[in-house]
Amino acid sequence: MTASLMLERLERAAAKAAEQYPFYRRFQGTGATFQDLPVMDKATINANREMLELPVQGPLIISHTSGSTGTPFLCVKTREEQRALGLAIQRSRRRAGVPTNGRMLLLGNALLADQRMVTLYGNRMMQEKPHLIQGRCSGLYELAMHAERNGLPIPESLVALQNWGEYAQPGQRREIERIFGVPMLDYYGMEEIWLIAFAGVDGSLRIDESLVYVEVLDPITLQPVPDDETGELVVTSFVMNSLPFLRYRTGDMGRVARDEGSGGPILTLMPFRQSSIKLPGREVQTAVLRYLDGFYKWLATDLGVRQFQLVQESHYAFRLRIAGSRSSDAELREAADKLANLLKKVLLSEELQIAVEHVEVIQPDPVSGKCHPFVSYVS
Amino acid sequence: MITEEERFPLQLTVIDIMAQLLSRRPEDIQMEHSLLNDLYLDSLHVLELLTLLEQRFGFETEAEDLQPHVFSTVESVVAFVREKAAS
């Protein structure tokens, strides 16, 4: 979609919102543009729910999310909204070669909690012969490892894997795709509005402009960042009417660039959610950890690390948890020194201590079920 | 005299397939019926319907065919099948 067409669409959405929702009525007739609409989040919608929910005829589909923020949120969709969003996901899968009514195997979050679940899903994979296996990257990885360890045949029917919104670390992705022999396609979305972006067969995350518009804003000032810069992803849904999501904060960091061929928007997600590194008297957004990209690539390629997690244990004490590396103590020490030097530059502090710990597996967050690349225990 | 079936074979076949899928009588399905609100065809049923139509009429669904307006009414589905079957 051209920029001017998108702009028109956004202005129409803003005008319609001012007409339909009591919350936005103050903008009616004022000449306010889309950019004048407030940036919203779960807490703001929760606090103004009565002024945002449209009365609808017919049943609503209800679900809940707290995402990774811990703020409980009631999601509602009409059947029409659910149909439109569901078809969008099907379109993305169809583009990847999954048949129209293809067989799907969905890996539940419980897979990581109990080894017996991995065995169960392995058996189901062999019996059901799915065209698509979907789940979190960490779950797909566990299934891949189980299949390889036990010599399970990968069904010939399998066309693709779908990663439900978990950061796929390079080592994991390589192993998953090697073992299953098909591409792992990233899905990025939210329970509130479902699909935001779906990976093409070239691996790039393509924003579905028929469904959403994505802005990239500075998480502090909420102003747009320069083109191709990293910021917080703020989304506007063109499908959701029963409860609008206009300029809605995702809490995720990323950048948007235009694909050279199609001109469509491509999304690059940063592995770190919009949480912060807490230092005395200040907080540093974890977006700065994007400068460690080179370090993490080195971990994956040179040390064979398949998964990592950086933990802030106290203001100046960090622990780098590494899973899946057969590195020597000397190599791990080198990793700790590299990381310490980088963090000192990024955080402008000389006081940091880094420990590196080798673990068998990095446990997912008990609330979100996701394995977060950064966790802070500092309140 | 041309019968209804001779004039509208494709339409009646589509309705027949829908009727079987939904365990309804074909005569209870009207062209103006909404798939969602009158026939209660959910997302899974839509994909199942599409697969049955593909098999019966020998076409393949492209990604861009999977649009909400195609599955709006019985009439829109018939129009879609007519277009795909002709190409």
Task: Decide if B51 and A80 are in contact by the 8 Å CB cutoff.
Answer: no
Last residue of a domain, one of A269, A299, A329: A269
Distance CA A203, CA A268 (A): 11
Give the one of B43, B51, B63 whose C-beta lies nearest to A91's C-beta: B63
Residue A233 has pLDDT above 80, yes or no: yes
Range A326-355 burial, b when 16+ CB lie within 10 A, else e: ebeeebbebbbebbbebbeebbebeebebe
Domain count, chain A: 3
CATH of the domain at A72: 3.40.50.12780
> pLDDT at residue A69 above 60?
no
Please report the pLDDT score of residue A328 as a whole number.
80
Q: Are A199 and A206 in contact, with CB atoms under 8 Å apart?
A: yes
Name chain B contacts of A58, Cβ cutoff 8 Å.
37
Q: Alpha-carbon distance A379 to A105, whole Å?
A: 39
The CATH number corresponding to B4-86 among 3.30.200.100, 1.10.1200.10, 2.60.120.10, 3.40.50.410 equals 1.10.1200.10
In this predicted model, which residue has the larger pLDDT, A209 or A377?
A209
Task: For residue range B33-55, list pLDDT tens digits in order.
Answer: 999 989 988 877 888 999 999 99
pLDDT at A67 over 70: no
Q: Encode pLDDT of A297-335 as tens digits.
A: 677 677 777 777 888 898 889 998 887 666 787 887 887
Q: Which residues of B touch A84 (CB under 8 A)?
A: 68
Q: What percent of chain A has pLDDT over 70?
A: 91
CA dihedral (A162, A164, A167, A171) positive or negative: negative
- Mind listing the pLDDT tens digit for each residue in A173-196? 999 999 999 999 999 999 899 999
Give the distance, in angstroms, between the CA of residue A312 and the centroid of all CA atoms in the same chain.
21
A82 with B43: Cβ contact below 8 A: yes
Angle between helices A170-180 and A293-301 (to 10 degrees): 40
**Do both A247 and A305 map to the same domain?**
no
Q: How far apart are CA A193 and CA A253, in angstroms?
A: 18
Average pLDDT, chain B: 89
Question: Does residue A292 share a domain with residue A242?
Answer: no
Cβ-based interface (< 8 Å): residues of A facing B: 58, 79-80, 82-84, 86-88, 90-92, 94-95, 99-101
pLDDT at A71: 59
pLDDT for residue A40? 95
Please report, as a single letter, which amino acid is at residue A235. Answer: V
Do A307 and A324 touch, CB atoms closer than 8 A? yes
Q: Residue B21: what pLDDT?
A: 92
Candidate from A58, A83, A91 with C-beta closest to B43? A83
Q: What length is written for chain B?
A: 87
Q: Find the mean pLDDT for residues A246-271.
A: 89
- Ranges A19-28, A274-283, B2-11, most confident: A19-28
Are residues A198 and A251 both part of a single domain? yes
Instruction: Say whether both A208 and A77 belong to one domain.
Output: yes
Kindly state whether residues A200 and A150 are assigned to the same domain: no
- Does one domain contain both A216 and A365? no
pLDDT, mean of residues A196-224: 92
**Shared-domain flag, residues A368 and A284:** yes
Mean pLDDT of the A355-366 span: 79
Cβ-Cβ pairs closer than 8 A, A with B, add up to 45
Site of tokens 């004022």: A30
Tokens of A180: 């299953």
Q: Do B68 and A79 touch (CB under 8 A)?
A: no
Report chain A's C-alpha Rg in angstroms: 22
Q: How confident is the model at residue A121 (pLDDT cuts 50, 70, 90)?
A: very high
- The answer to whether residues A104 and A171 belong to one domain is yes
pLDDT (0 to 100) of residue B49: 93
Percent of chain B with pLDDT over 90: 69
Best interface-test mutation with B: which of A61, A80, A83, A106 has the largest number of B CBs within 10 A?
A83
Which whole-number Å values give the CA distances from A203 to A182, A280, A301, in the listed order?
A: 12, 40, 19
Output the pLDDT for position A38.
Answer: 96
Cα torsion angle, A344, A349, A350, A355, sign: negative
Residues A17, A146 within the same domain: no
Q: What pLDDT shows up at residue A87?
A: 92
A274-293 pLDDT, tens digit per residue, is: 567 888 887 776 656 655 66
pTM of the model: 0.81
- pLDDT above 70: residue B7: no
Residues facing residue A194 across a β-bridge: A190
The answer, yes or no, to whether residue A25 has pLDDT greater than 60, is: yes
Q: How far is B28 from chain A (nearest CA, A)?
A: 22
Burial class (CB in 10 A: 0-12, 13-18, 19+), A144: buried
Domain boundary (A165, A182, A199) is at: A182
Chain B residues with CB under 8 Å of a chain A CB are 36-37, 42-43, 46-48, 50-51, 54, 61-64, 66-68, 71
**Encoding tokens for residue A57?**
């005829």
Instruction: Give the one of B37, B43, B61 whose C-beta lies nearest to A100's C-beta.
Output: B61
Encoded amino acid at A238, one letter: F
Whether residues A178 and A199 fall in one domain: no
Contact A87 B48 (CB under 8 A): no
> Mean pLDDT lowest for which of A106-115, A152-161, A212-221, B33-42?
A106-115
A18 and A108 both lie in a single domain: no
Q: Do residues A64 and A44 lie in contact, with contact meaning Cβ atoms separated by under 8 Å?
A: no
Of the listed ranges A39-43, A74-78, A368-372, B49-53, the one predicted with least confidence: A368-372
pLDDT bin (cut points 50, 70, 90) of residue B2 is: low
Which of A4, A3, A23 lies closest to A247 in space, CA to CA? Answer: A23
Alpha carbon of B8: minimum distance to chain A alpha carbons (Å): 26
Confidence check: pLDDT of B6 > 70? no
What's the gap in Å between the CA of A7 and the closest CA on chain B? 23
Q: Do A72 and A206 sit in the same domain of this protein? A: yes
- Among the ranges given (A225-229, A328-332, A354-358), the one the predictor scored with the smallest mean pLDDT: A328-332
* Domain coverage including residue A135: 97-182
ipTM: 0.83
Distance CA B6, CA B20 (A): 21
* pLDDT reported for residue A239: 96
pLDDT reading at A92 higher than 80: yes
